[in-house]
Amino acid sequence: MIKNTNNEPVAGSDCIVVIACSTGGPKALHKIVPRLPKDFPVPVLIVQHMADWMTGPFSKRLNDVSEITVKEAAHGEALQPGTAYVAKGGLHLTVAWNESGSTVFLDDSMPIDSLKPSADKLFESLVDGPYDKIICVVLTGMGQDGTVGIKKLSESKNTYVIAQDEASCTVYGMPKAVYQNGLANVVCDLNEIAEQIIRKVGE
Protein backbone atom coordinates (compact mmCIF):
# COMPACT_ATOMS: atom_id res chain seq x y z
CA MET A 1 0.00 0.00 0.00
CA ILE A 2 1.21 3.54 -0.78
CA LYS A 3 2.37 5.50 2.26
CA ASN A 4 1.79 9.18 2.88
CA THR A 5 4.46 11.74 3.77
CA ASN A 6 4.35 10.71 7.43
CA ASN A 7 5.11 7.11 6.41
CA GLU A 8 1.81 5.92 7.82
CA PRO A 9 -0.36 3.48 5.82
CA VAL A 10 -3.18 5.17 3.93
CA ALA A 11 -6.60 3.83 4.83
CA GLY A 12 -9.09 2.74 2.19
CA SER A 13 -9.91 0.13 -0.40
CA ASP A 14 -7.13 -1.17 -2.63
CA CYS A 15 -9.27 -0.96 -5.80
CA ILE A 16 -11.17 1.74 -7.67
CA VAL A 17 -12.99 1.99 -11.00
CA VAL A 18 -12.54 5.08 -13.21
CA ILE A 19 -14.69 5.66 -16.31
CA ALA A 20 -13.94 8.24 -19.01
CA CYS A 21 -16.37 9.18 -21.79
CA SER A 22 -17.54 12.04 -24.00
CA THR A 23 -19.82 12.06 -27.07
CA GLY A 24 -22.32 9.22 -26.64
CA GLY A 25 -21.22 8.74 -23.04
CA PRO A 26 -24.57 9.29 -21.28
CA LYS A 27 -26.18 6.51 -23.30
CA ALA A 28 -23.18 4.24 -22.71
CA LEU A 29 -23.18 4.90 -18.97
CA HIS A 30 -26.86 3.92 -18.83
CA LYS A 31 -25.80 0.53 -20.24
CA ILE A 32 -23.10 0.02 -17.61
CA VAL A 33 -23.82 1.64 -14.26
CA PRO A 34 -27.34 0.17 -13.75
CA ARG A 35 -25.82 -3.30 -14.17
CA LEU A 36 -23.45 -2.88 -11.21
CA PRO A 37 -24.85 -4.68 -8.14
CA LYS A 38 -26.02 -2.89 -5.02
CA ASP A 39 -23.18 -4.42 -3.00
CA PHE A 40 -20.50 -3.29 -5.47
CA PRO A 41 -17.44 -3.20 -3.22
CA VAL A 42 -15.47 -0.22 -4.57
CA PRO A 43 -16.02 3.43 -5.55
CA VAL A 44 -16.58 4.46 -9.18
CA LEU A 45 -15.37 7.79 -10.57
CA ILE A 46 -16.85 9.10 -13.82
CA VAL A 47 -15.58 11.84 -16.11
CA GLN A 48 -18.23 12.65 -18.70
CA HIS A 49 -17.57 15.77 -20.77
CA MET A 50 -20.71 17.76 -20.03
CA ALA A 51 -21.76 21.31 -19.18
CA ASP A 52 -21.92 22.26 -15.50
CA TRP A 53 -25.70 22.68 -15.50
CA MET A 54 -26.17 19.16 -16.88
CA THR A 55 -24.05 16.97 -14.60
CA GLY A 56 -26.34 17.24 -11.56
CA PRO A 57 -29.57 16.27 -13.36
CA PHE A 58 -27.72 13.58 -15.32
CA SER A 59 -26.37 12.06 -12.09
CA LYS A 60 -29.87 12.00 -10.60
CA ARG A 61 -31.35 10.29 -13.67
CA LEU A 62 -28.62 7.67 -13.60
CA ASN A 63 -29.11 7.16 -9.87
CA ASP A 64 -32.84 6.58 -10.38
CA VAL A 65 -32.18 3.55 -12.61
CA SER A 66 -29.16 2.11 -10.77
CA GLU A 67 -28.71 -0.18 -7.78
CA ILE A 68 -25.59 1.63 -6.63
CA THR A 69 -25.72 5.26 -5.57
CA VAL A 70 -24.87 7.78 -8.29
CA LYS A 71 -24.23 11.42 -7.44
CA GLU A 72 -22.50 14.53 -8.68
CA ALA A 73 -19.14 14.64 -6.90
CA ALA A 74 -18.88 17.18 -4.05
CA HIS A 75 -15.59 18.62 -2.87
CA GLY A 76 -14.23 16.97 0.26
CA GLU A 77 -16.62 14.02 0.47
CA ALA A 78 -15.19 10.63 1.33
CA LEU A 79 -15.17 7.99 -1.40
CA GLN A 80 -17.44 5.10 -0.49
CA PRO A 81 -17.89 1.63 -1.98
CA GLY A 82 -21.04 1.16 -4.01
CA THR A 83 -21.13 4.83 -5.01
CA ALA A 84 -20.43 6.43 -8.38
CA TYR A 85 -19.20 10.02 -8.41
CA VAL A 86 -19.80 12.04 -11.59
CA ALA A 87 -17.39 14.90 -12.26
CA LYS A 88 -19.09 18.29 -12.08
CA GLY A 89 -18.94 20.16 -15.38
CA GLY A 90 -16.39 22.97 -15.33
CA LEU A 91 -14.22 21.42 -12.62
CA HIS A 92 -11.57 18.70 -12.68
CA LEU A 93 -12.41 15.66 -10.55
CA THR A 94 -9.31 14.40 -8.72
CA VAL A 95 -8.64 12.30 -5.61
CA ALA A 96 -6.97 13.37 -2.38
CA TRP A 97 -6.18 11.14 0.58
CA ASN A 98 -4.96 11.04 4.16
CA GLU A 99 -4.95 8.63 7.10
CA SER A 100 -8.76 8.57 7.11
CA GLY A 101 -9.16 7.55 3.48
CA SER A 102 -9.71 9.02 0.02
CA THR A 103 -11.80 12.08 -0.75
CA VAL A 104 -13.06 14.03 -3.74
CA PHE A 105 -10.95 17.04 -4.66
CA LEU A 106 -12.52 19.40 -7.19
CA ASP A 107 -9.78 21.25 -9.03
CA ASP A 108 -10.50 24.61 -10.68
CA SER A 109 -7.21 24.77 -12.58
CA MET A 110 -6.94 25.41 -16.31
CA PRO A 111 -8.58 23.10 -18.87
CA ILE A 112 -6.41 20.39 -20.37
CA ASP A 113 -6.69 20.24 -24.16
CA SER A 114 -9.77 22.47 -23.75
CA LEU A 115 -11.40 19.93 -21.43
CA LYS A 116 -12.63 20.53 -17.89
CA PRO A 117 -13.18 18.02 -16.42
CA SER A 118 -10.32 16.05 -17.90
CA ALA A 119 -9.99 12.27 -17.59
CA ASP A 120 -6.20 12.65 -17.91
CA LYS A 121 -6.22 14.88 -14.82
CA LEU A 122 -8.19 12.30 -12.83
CA PHE A 123 -5.99 9.37 -13.84
CA GLU A 124 -2.84 11.34 -13.04
CA SER A 125 -4.17 12.20 -9.57
CA LEU A 126 -4.17 8.49 -8.76
CA VAL A 127 -0.50 7.90 -9.62
CA ASP A 128 0.67 8.41 -6.04
CA GLY A 129 -2.61 7.41 -4.42
CA PRO A 130 -3.52 4.52 -2.11
CA TYR A 131 -5.15 2.22 -4.70
CA ASP A 132 -3.21 -0.90 -5.61
CA LYS A 133 -5.55 -1.88 -8.46
CA ILE A 134 -7.20 0.63 -10.80
CA ILE A 135 -9.73 -0.45 -13.40
CA CYS A 136 -9.81 2.12 -16.19
CA VAL A 137 -12.78 2.15 -18.58
CA VAL A 138 -12.63 4.28 -21.72
CA LEU A 139 -15.89 4.71 -23.59
CA THR A 140 -17.14 6.47 -26.69
CA GLY A 141 -15.94 10.00 -27.24
CA MET A 142 -14.11 12.40 -29.51
CA GLY A 143 -10.39 13.00 -29.08
CA GLN A 144 -8.00 11.10 -26.85
CA ASP A 145 -8.71 12.23 -23.29
CA GLY A 146 -7.57 9.52 -20.89
CA THR A 147 -4.67 8.14 -22.92
CA VAL A 148 -1.90 10.27 -21.39
CA GLY A 149 -3.22 9.77 -17.86
CA ILE A 150 -3.58 5.99 -18.22
CA LYS A 151 -0.07 5.73 -19.64
CA LYS A 152 1.38 7.55 -16.62
CA LEU A 153 -0.77 5.53 -14.24
CA SER A 154 0.21 2.20 -15.76
CA GLU A 155 3.89 2.97 -15.17
CA SER A 156 3.46 2.82 -11.40
CA LYS A 157 0.16 1.05 -10.71
CA ASN A 158 -1.58 -2.24 -11.40
CA THR A 159 -4.03 -1.07 -14.04
CA TYR A 160 -6.57 -2.98 -16.10
CA VAL A 161 -7.88 -1.03 -19.07
CA ILE A 162 -11.22 -1.78 -20.74
CA ALA A 163 -11.84 -0.01 -24.05
CA GLN A 164 -15.19 0.10 -25.85
CA ASP A 165 -15.08 -1.37 -29.34
CA GLU A 166 -15.59 0.65 -32.49
CA ALA A 167 -18.87 -1.00 -33.50
CA SER A 168 -20.68 0.05 -30.31
CA CYS A 169 -19.20 3.58 -30.05
CA THR A 170 -21.01 6.73 -31.11
CA VAL A 171 -17.58 8.25 -31.79
CA TYR A 172 -14.54 5.96 -31.85
CA GLY A 173 -11.97 8.45 -30.61
CA MET A 174 -11.04 8.04 -26.95
CA PRO A 175 -11.04 4.22 -26.88
CA LYS A 176 -9.26 4.12 -30.22
CA ALA A 177 -6.42 6.25 -28.83
CA VAL A 178 -6.07 3.95 -25.83
CA TYR A 179 -6.02 0.89 -28.07
CA GLN A 180 -3.58 2.32 -30.60
CA ASN A 181 -1.17 3.25 -27.80
CA GLY A 182 -1.13 -0.35 -26.60
CA LEU A 183 -2.82 0.43 -23.28
CA ALA A 184 -6.02 -1.64 -23.57
CA ASN A 185 -6.12 -5.00 -21.82
CA VAL A 186 -9.45 -5.81 -23.42
CA VAL A 187 -11.62 -4.29 -26.16
CA CYS A 188 -15.27 -5.23 -25.99
CA ASP A 189 -18.82 -4.38 -26.93
CA LEU A 190 -20.65 -1.89 -24.72
CA ASN A 191 -23.02 -4.60 -23.49
CA GLU A 192 -20.09 -6.63 -22.12
CA ILE A 193 -18.35 -3.88 -20.17
CA ALA A 194 -20.31 -4.09 -16.90
CA GLU A 195 -19.57 -7.82 -16.70
CA GLN A 196 -15.89 -7.13 -17.35
CA ILE A 197 -15.80 -4.56 -14.54
CA ILE A 198 -17.55 -6.84 -12.04
CA ARG A 199 -15.28 -9.77 -12.90
CA LYS A 200 -12.08 -7.77 -12.59
CA VAL A 201 -13.08 -6.13 -9.30
CA GLY A 202 -13.76 -9.59 -7.89
CA GLU A 203 -10.38 -11.03 -8.79
Per this entry, what is the length of the chain? 203
**Nearest-angstrom CA–CA distance, 149 and 118:** 9
- Decide: helix, strand or coil at residue 174: helix
> How do beta strands 92-98 and 101-107 pair?
antiparallel
Q: Could you say which of 13, 22, 154, 168 is catalytic?
A: 22
How many Cβ atoms sit within 10 Å of the Cβ of residue 14?
A: 13
Q: Could you say which of 13, 49, 125, 168 is catalytic?
A: 49
- Decide: helix, strand or coil at residue 113: coil
Contact (Cβ atoms closer than 8 angstroms) between residue 76 and residue 104: yes
Active site residue 145: yes
Active site residue 75: no
Active site residue 113: no
Q: Could you say which of 59, 145, 165, 168 is catalytic?
A: 145
User: Which residues are marked as active site?
Assistant: 22, 49, 145
